[in-house]
Chains A and B, each alone.
Chain A
Amino acid sequence: MSTLEILDPTVETPKTVIAFVPRPDSLQGKRIGLIENTKFNSDRLLLKIGEILKAEYGAGETRLFRKHNSSVPAHRELIDELTAACDVMVAGIGD
């Protein structure tokens, strides 16, 4: 027999639908944006990835962008610039 009722301290995970841009069929000639998260060596890793995309997949120019810091999403100005200047972007986070 129940004698006590308790309340749930958690919240439902909010569900948000995100629209994805279709993936390109090929990277041939595509302008690549590399989002650097400011952690040490992240620029070197991304530049290396950029080189591979150019050498092995025929990508066009690569350009490195820098976030304000690793703990926040990319800022609005960076996203606007990236949208105008790039076709494809590579982002990630790691230590």
Chain B
Amino acid sequence: MPASLTSRRYAVQDLGHAIELCFEKGWTDGLPVIPPTEARVRAMLDTAGLEPDREIAFVVHRNVAVTAEKAAINAVMAGCRPEYFPVVVAAVEAIGDPRWAYHGPGTSTAGAGVLLIVNGPVARELDINAGDNLFGPGWRANLTIGRTIRLIMRNVCGSRPGTLDRGTLGHPGKLSYVIAENETESPWTPLHVERGFAADQSTVTALAAEAPHQFYNQLSATAEGVLTTLADDMRISGNVMGQPQYAIVLAGEHMRTVAREGWQKADIRKFVFAHTQNSHSHLKRTQRMAGAIQPGDETRMRPLVESPDDILVVAAGGRAGAFSAYIPGWGSKRSSQSVTKEIRRPR
């Protein structure tokens, strides 16, 4: 006898009325949702092997527990297939981690999205897109997993736009913001392996993040050329004075150009760290750093991030096109850090 679901139930006439009721109750992100029936919710829970009352995360600053039942209801609404649910569970664990520090990214005027980077075999099995239109439309897994996280933030954690979520501008990634690393074609160590997991483990990494910034380099055939453009684009971006973490997403052409010369991810981080520093005089002249310019400020440099390790390098994006992206993290590393969690599936 499976444990009963304890959520309040609403009886409705038909599917159309159910969809409208979800709008009326304020449960959606502005788009229609799949009505969460018990059968659909149970399919989610069964796939992950979770009891409904299992606490996936406790968000201390909101004093709220995210149970498997509530996560599953929101996953159904977002349109997830049941096999996506273990990814959702890992992502909820990540945003509930004290290092991610929910309260800031879940409420801030600076408008953080939850960038989720999926690594390992699960990404391929679930067809989580790592290629063309990486951040864009077309892949059910990418769009529904990210949408679930935002619905959980709204419906369980209370981050409703206009009340607790006070993003001044927000960004489209706040609807859904999920990518996989292109481990099939990447010559580099995958992100999760760099972060201490085995290659055959699957993980999700959550970074509270601004929108992706695309940069162009259609000229260079060298690693240094491509990364010089990247660094120049990136140098003044995001919360320049806050030193958030960053993600760099190198797509096919740039990935191949940089890798051809033997550059590893550590080399990329080191180069970008060195070339994204700003002089104090520039920061003061452009009203980012307080105070009058002092002697020596022209050569006194402030790094964009605290350390090279605060740059997450990910190989992903279409094979064609000399474009890649960088993504400033939200706020500052002091306020929120990226967190990686294993995706666990029942054997």
Contacts and interface: CB of A to CB of B under 8 A. Distances in A.
A2 B17 CA distance: 10
Interface residues of A, number: 22
Nearest to A10: B155
Interface residues of B, number: 44
B310 to A, nearest CB: 16
B10 A5 contact: yes
B61 interface: yes
A26 B73 CA distance: 52
A8 B14 contact: no
A73 B103 CA distance: 10
Interface string A18-31: 00000000000000
Nearest to B69: A7
B9 A8 contact: yes
A67 B103 CA distance: 15
B18 A4 contact: yes
Contact of B104 (A2, A3, A14, A72): A72
Contacts of B108: 71
A72 B10 contact: no
B18 A6 contact: yes
B101 A9 contact: no
Contact of B101 (A4, A7, A14, A72): A72
Interface of A: 1-11, 13-14, 16, 40, 68-73, 95
Interface of B: 5, 7-15, 17-18, 21-22, 25, 27, 35-38, 41, 61, 63-65, 70, 73-74, 77, 101, 103-104, 108-109, 151, 155-156, 158, 290, 331-332, 334-336
